[in-house]
Structure 1
Amino acid sequence: MKKSFLFTSESVAEGHPDRLCDTISDAIVDRFLQQDPYSHVVTECALSKGIVFVAARFASKATVDIPDLAREVVGAVGYRKEDFNAAECTVVTSLMAQPLDQRYEWDERELTEKELDRITVRNQITQFGFACNQTAELMPFPITMANRLARQLTAVREGKTIPYLSPDCTTQVGVAFENGKPKRIQSITLIAGYQGGNLIDAAALRADLLQYVVGPVFESEAIRPDDETDIFINPRGIFPKSGPAAHSGMTGRKSASDTYGGYARHSGSALSGKDPCRIDRVGAYVARYAAKNVVAAGLADECEVQLSYTIGQARPVSLQVRTHGTAIIAEGLIESRLSECIDFRLGAIIRDFGLRHLPARHKTGFYRMLPAHGHVGASFTDLPWERIDIENRLR
């Protein structure tokens, strides 16, 4: 593996149309699970100027006003009415109500081992989890900084420090690596959407973003922008329109920024819009949990865990570990220890992470917060799959 290279990762703010679609999809999942934790629901969203399209299939005892909920999510993002009017936008739905016997109506916490074996996956997937020691949260440095910039753009907009920003912004951070470790910031790109009265000039925009976004994000970092760092801010000029008024969105199109910024593999499957019985979602979470504990245990500087599931089976049909030459013990031994310490069955994942009941414990919902705040790494709360609690057993 190359030891010296340049790697760049991208992230988006919560008002980016793709991210907004993810949030709408997960808000629907939350609402179903808050009323009926045994709901089976899969939902996808697409939007463009003045219109939101939601497709959902579900088996649930819950009653959810999907158009109203979609408008609530859009309204909370903070677009100007001229760009996206939540109250007046058209919401088109395609809903498929399925029989209630499609639900798994049992509490995994009360099941025996044989009963857990009967909870099988309904779709096949090869999912990946990754961790490395580049940051405190054991995430790749480029995507960590791109995500922090995106969240800071939202914070300064909501806090009125830079009130003219649109909710739709994107970030990109290029990092030069030497000997496999982050060495310096090669480039930073901020694409800041604009909404307000008179257009601000490029120099004022640059000054604001450097002072209130870039500066605070890198302030406590050992690796910061230097005199040779290329900082690009709206290199094609000010965007008078942004969000759905400028480009469309769809659930699942930000899989790289949802995970590891392209630094490590992901399945390409959308994480949002799926209840906890979908292994293509929760498999990503348990794989991350496994990889993170391996790195936290000091068994490797970086670790990728690959899990493959097939329809009708409760357990993964394969478990593979890759450490890119950084492990202190054999990868096969790490695989054996993970199998001993983690129950990778679907029912056990739901049980051990409490996935059915998380929405009820968060008044505003749980899953809807993940797209903007992070499915992995640092997020809005302590995510159960981000726990480091088996590192001693792995050692």
Structure 2
Amino acid sequence: MNIKNIDSPEMRSWLALSHVNISISKLQHFFENYSSITDLFELSEKQLQSLGFRQGLKEKLGSIDDARLEQDLAWFDSENKHLLPYTSHDYPPLLREIDSAPKILFVHGQKEVLKQHQIAIVGSRNPTPQGKDNAIEFARTLGKAGAVITSGLALGVDGFAHQSVLDKGLPTIAVAGTGLDRVYPARHKTMAQKIVENGALVSEFAIGTGVRATHFPARNRIISGMSLGTLVVEAAVKSGSLITARLAMEQGREVFAIPGSIHNPLARGCHALIKQGVKLVETAEEIIEELSALAIWQNESLLQPEKDTNKAVEGFTLDKEYQELIEHIDYDTTSMDCIVERTGLEIDVVSHMLLLLELNDHIVSVAGGYQRRSS
């Protein structure tokens, strides 16, 4: 979306709203009475208050002058920079479901990835060597299984998760706590450029917004809100990662935690989550199996791109091992226990292979097990 496409009364109004604190619930009530966001700027103070808006909104709306908007518009200098109001069909569908959904998103990169299945990976900014390895391995396995890895571009676990999938040419989404005209932390500038090429940078904050501590918890609700589930790799008892996990639970999303040594202070946050009922995971395949079992992967309300049956997941090929596994699955329902017994493979291995076969349309998951597709 370049300046010519965004410089319309409708989009300028949304751009102006990026500088004003208005809740999504108030805007939803507004749209019950009016069809265009431009109408909001034409209403009197009295009319605005009758719709539930706070006193003084009229003055705030009027304070956003053309000079400020022209500065904002200058950022949209290429086709891969987008402004997505929550009314847009490109807005992430899962994010729209949460009560505190952002009214608008700035996106730099491939906006199509926002509609793909995402899994959030979060954790300490100073992970242990094992925490680093876990972030890399879990992100890589989940990315290869077809999930887009979403995180916050922070140092530590966030950065390792992003870089792990970028190294494999897979997409990733980074949600920023600043305006997208800057990168924080600055040392991740090169990584941010790669994310733009292979995924997307996302922010709800207006162009020109700098680093503020209060913005990061707000950013975290977007990370969890766009994702099917959130994985906490390592976290202290008081950390932003636990805020993300709590938000995910409040949003009705799945939360997973990797356990660690009782002597590791960065494992205590994960252990606290597990005590609260969060699912303990030791392998990425367990996350894949959990989400697949809940049938979230095949949720048709999430718009999925058309899949090439021979290569729906990048890097997947139907080699001899997968062909042999298919031979052990009947056209009638075959239970997981039966498949494991027939193949002689470990259940974690079978679960991972089955998911890839399902994502590539070779088998279908049904109540009680799996069926081979006739085609």
- TM > 0.5 between the two? no
TM-score (norm 2): 0.23
Structure whose alpha-carbon radius of gyration is higher: 2
Which structure is higher in RCO with an 8 Å CA cutoff and minimum separation 6? 1
| TM-score of the pair, normalised by structure 1 | 0.22
More strand per residue: 1 or 2? 1
